[in-house]
Amino acid sequence: MSNSEDTGQQVRESEVDMNPPKRLRTTETLTGGKDREEEKSTVDVSIVMPVYNASCWLDDCLQAILVQDFTGSMELSVFDDASTDDSKKVVEGWRERLEAKGISVVISGHNSEQPKGVGYAKNKAICQSRGQYLCFQDADDIMLPQRIRLQYDASVLHKNSLIGCRVQRVPEGSTERYTRWINTLSQDQLITQVYTSHGPSVVMPTWFCSREWYQKVGPFDEGGKGVPEDLLFFYQSLRHGGRLFRVDQCLLIYRYHEKAATHSVTEETIWKLRVDFLQERVLSQWESFTIWNAGKQGRKLYRSLSPANQKKVKAFCDVDENKIQKGFYTYEESKERPKPKIPVLHYKNASAPFIICVKLDMTGSDLEENLNSLQLKEGIDYYHFN
Indicate which CATH number applies to the domain containing 319.
3.40.50
Q: How far apart are CA 118 and CA 79, in angstroms?
A: 10
How many whole angstroms separate alpha carbon 311 and alpha carbon 275?
16
Walking along the chain (386 residues) 10 residues at a time, the average pLDDT comes out as 42 38 35 45 95 96 98 98 96 98 97 94 98 98 98 98 97 90 97 96 98 98 93 98 98 86 80 98 98 96 97 96 93 92 96 93 78 93 95
**Are 245 and 295 contained in the same domain?**
no
State the Cα–Cα distance between residues 237 and 45, nearest whole angstrom.
20
pLDDT at 365: 77
Is residue 121 located within the same domain as residue 54?
Answer: yes
Judge if 185 and 317 occupy the same domain. no
Q: Residue 304 burial by CB count (10 A; 0-12/13-18/19+): exposed, middle or buried?
A: middle
Same domain, 187 and 130: yes
**CATH number reported for the structural domain that contains residue 155 in this entry:** 3.90.550.10
Outline where 202-266 has alpha helix (H): 211-217, 229-239
Which residues span the domain enclosing 334? Answer: 283-384
Residues ≥6 apart with Cβ < 8 Å to 244: 161, 162, 164, 190, 191, 201, 202
**What's the whole-model pTM score?**
0.88
Contact in structure between 98 and 74 (CB atoms under 8 Å):
no
Residues 303 and 363 grouped into a single domain = yes
Verify that 258 and 367 share a domain, yes or no.
no
Domain total in the chain: 2
**Which of the listed residues 231, 265, 299 is the one where a domain comes to its end?**
265
Sheet holding 289-292: strands in order across?
328-330, 341-346, 313-318, 289-292, 354-356, 382-384
- Residue 154, Cβ neighbours under 10 Å: how many? 17
**Count of H-run helices and E-run strands, the chain:** 14, 14
